[in-house]
Amino acid sequence: MKILKGLLFLLVGIIVLALVVALFVRKEYDIEREVIIEKPRQTVYDYIKYLKNQDQFSVWANMDPAMKKEYRGTDGAVGFISAWESKNSNVGKGEQEIRKLQDGSRIDTELRFVKPMESTSYSFMTTDDYQDIYTKVKWNFTGKMEYPLNLMILLMDMDQTIGDQLQAGLNNLKVIVENKD
């Protein structure tokens, strides 16, 4: 019985310690990756401003080719929404909305996740001229994990996990756009 009580106190102590630590752990994350594409800036921008094109290069879109997709509005315009639902827990359920466009240079989106957990994140992609015939594309992903879920920021390397997926998507984008006529 003493061992059981001791284990119970140890477990409660670990939980309390984790909750106290979570008070001091950052809640925000900001991840960015980039790639150089051998095409003019406007050509690249004209491809990425359409959310439906993310189905071709995004790692998340390719995790479940059978996911249910729904589109609302005019793709490539502010207010367009791309919604998805997947049985794959790495994809989950949510929607992405175009919030702002700067012709030729930037697209801002809001991602509203429903499953596996509710959260809202923000993303933007920028296109900048780079050495005459190239375009530098940056893909940024920011969000916030509320207390006590922010403890996950310590347990998983968000920059590496999400960053690797962003970079893979950018590498896919590079291949697609460079081979596009």
User: Tokens standing for 32?
Assistant: 């960015």
- Residue among 178, 179, 177 at smallest CA distance from 49: 177
6-24 pLDDT, tens per residue?
Answer: 888 888 787 777 767 666 6
What is the predicted pLDDT for the residue at 151?
A: 63
Q: What are the boundaries of each domain within the chain?
A: 28-178
User: Tokens standing for 167?
Assistant: 């970079």
Pairing state between β 134-144 and 28-37: antiparallel
What is the predicted pLDDT for the residue at 2?
A: 82
What is the predicted pLDDT for the residue at 153?
A: 67
- On the question of a cis peptide bond just before residue 116, with omega within 30 degrees of 0, the verdict is yes
What is the rounded distance in angstroms from the CA atom of residue 45 to the CA atom of residue 42? 5
Cβ–Cβ contacts within 10 Å for residue 170, how many? 21
Q: What is the pTM of this model?
A: 0.82
Which option is the CATH number for 28-178: 3.40.50.1220, 3.90.950.10, 2.60.40.10, 3.30.530.20? 3.30.530.20
Low-confidence ranges of the chain (pLDDT < 70): 19, 21-25, 147, 149-151, 153-155
What is the predicted pLDDT for the residue at 128?
A: 95
